[in-house]
Amino acid sequence: MPVNWLSEIIARGKEVALVEGADRVMFAWLANEIELQTESLRQHKVSAGDPVILNSDFSVAGIVTLLALSCLKAIAIPIVNLRKELIPVLKSECGARFLITPSQDGRIESLGASGDHELYGTLRQRNASGLVLLSSGSTGKPKAILHDFDRLLQTRKKAGAHNHVTVLLFLLFDHIGGLNTLIKTLLSGGTAVIPGARHPDAICATIEAQRVNVLPTSPTFLNLVLLSGAYTRHDLSSLRLVTYGTEPMPEELLGRLRATFPKIRFVQTFGTSETGIARTRGSRSASTLFKIDSDSQEFRICNGELQLRSSNQFIGYLNSSEASVTEDGWFRTGDAAELTDDGYIRLRGRLKEVINAGGEKVIPLELETILLGHPEVADCVVYGMPNAITGQAVWVDVLPKGPMNKSELQRSIHQFLVERVPRFKIPSRVTLVDHIQMSDRFKKKRVRL
């Protein structure tokens, strides 16, 4: 018999649960494997409340192990491409006691005695499983974010079933968006497809081969699909919905996507590692505006910053202060935002990326949207660099559509912008590049160290 409500729901599924390469895993098989892995973990002395490093990206074995850890009420720390030097940090800051690498025959390695963390007591009092997510750490060391994993799972259980859909697991296994996609798909009886690689041709080929209906991804990756022409080499007619998040969508790019894929609906999603993924509703597919339409999340905008409060809010940071949470329990997202007259949210970018040029504020996303309207600009990234006179200067890296030398491009961009923006927003330096720098989560890198 299934060990708890999670495997009971999974066992009810009638369709294919997971697709990985040529393997197609049925729900009944998945439920049985979760039970077998739960027992294997017990035999290896993994107990409720034990923090366990799960070194894996999406894979059938990785998913089975994650859900087995939940059944066991252990604390999963999923990490894609674990670096060896991170293990001692995870032992000291997260109390990690075991390491599992599912691709290596599911070997369970004991890390020896590790210190405990006081926040784990909250999970034990609730008899709940845990989840630790590491922030990207783009401006410092990653924060270890502790969640009640049972609560995240229960939220998706309450969401109820919907028509069967096939969803591509594009976002990573250690990303709140990727895990949200997995849980939502499995608990609603859908099919989750694991990609073999995450470059435009590989993703488009997988959509064609598996007749994928839903693609959760980022604006930066969608632009890569356009620039590569991969969509012209594969049949994407099964794709009905593209959800985009992790970073704001430039309106000019959304226009390009809508013109290229007129039959696909595009929806802005929003969430953070600390508060989970909110259900959103857009004003229309051609707009980047959205509302948070969720009983479990509420929002407010204070001094131009979007703040969230969620019933799924994280328990706390294992290795950092709670400075990002207000005294009345609101999480400061760090996202610059504004509210339209009809109640929709417009994201303007990250507050830490705002450029202060001689006292004038420049929002990189807004300038990028304008630059994408230039006929010779395929993509660009705007960022601030230190300047002895103005404090910061506006710089931009530009990926041109065709051959163009630097002086021609600089002159063309200056002429294009001078009629569209105030002078302080015109970049003092334009750099031609053959690719735009992005993170391993397919977000543009606007912060230069």
Task: Check if the beta carbon of residue 220 is closer than 8 Å to that of residue 247.
Answer: yes
Tell me the CA distances in angstroms from 129 to 125, 149, 186, 275, 312, one per residue in order. 11, 5, 18, 17, 14
Tell me the CA distances in angstroms from 431 to 166, 294, 387, 395, one per residue in order. 41, 43, 17, 8
| Domains in the chain: ranges and CATH | 5-11+26-150 (3.40.50.980), 155-350 (3.40.50.12780), 354-432 (3.30.300.30)
Task: Check if the beta carbon of residue 174 is closer than 8 Å to that of residue 78.
Answer: yes
Task: Check if the beta carbon of residue 361 is closer than 8 Å to that of residue 397.
Answer: no
So what's the pLDDT on residue 177? 93
Number of DSSP helices (H) and strands (E) in the chain, helices first: 12, 27
User: Which residues is 18 bridged to in the sheet?
Assistant: 25, 192
Q: How far apart are CA 66 and CA 10, in angstroms?
A: 14
So what's the pLDDT on residue 255? 93
**Residuewise pLDDT in 10s, the chain (449 residues):** 344 667 777 877 778 999 999 999 999 999 999 999 999 999 999 999 999 999 999 999 999 999 999 999 999 999 998 999 999 999 999 999 999 999 767 789 999 877 788 899 999 999 999 999 998 755 557 899 999 999 888 876 655 455 689 999 999 999 999 999 999 999 889 999 999 999 999 999 999 999 999 999 999 999 999 999 999 999 999 999 999 988 889 999 999 999 999 999 999 888 899 998 888 887 677 788 888 887 788 999 999 999 999 888 999 999 988 788 998 999 999 999 999 988 899 999 899 999 999 999 999 999 999 999 999 999 999 999 999 898 999 999 999 998 878 888 889 999 999 999 999 999 999 999 999 999 888 899 887 75
Q: How many whole angstroms from its chain centre is CA 286?
A: 22
Task: Check if the beta carbon of residue 76 is closer than 8 Å to that of residue 11.
Answer: no
Handedness of CA 262, 21, 440, 320 (dihedral sign): positive
So what's the pLDDT on residue 120? 94
User: Which residues is 242 bridged to in the sheet?
Assistant: 215, 266
- Candidates 196, 232, 260; CA nearest to 19 is 196
End-to-end CA distance of the chain: 54
Hey, what amino acid is at 356?
N
- Candidates 314, 365, 362, 303; CA nearest to 338 is 303
Q: How far apart are CA 113 and CA 98, in angstroms?
A: 10
Q: Give me 391's structure tokens.
A: 């404090």
- Residue in the structure block whose two tokens are 């400075």: 323
So what's the pLDDT on residue 1? 37
**Torsional class of 311: left (φ above 0), alpha (ψ -120 to 50), beta (otherwise):** alpha
Q: How far apart are CA 272 and CA 135, in angstroms?
A: 10
So what's the pLDDT on residue 170? 97
Q: How far apart are CA 207 and CA 238, in angstroms?
A: 8
pTM for the whole structure: 0.91
Residues 6+ positions from 425 with CB-CB distance below 8 Å: 357, 360, 362, 367, 394, 417
Task: Check if the beta carbon of residue 248 is closer than 8 Å to that of residue 219.
Answer: yes
Residue 433 phi, psi dihedral angles, 5° rounding: -130, 160
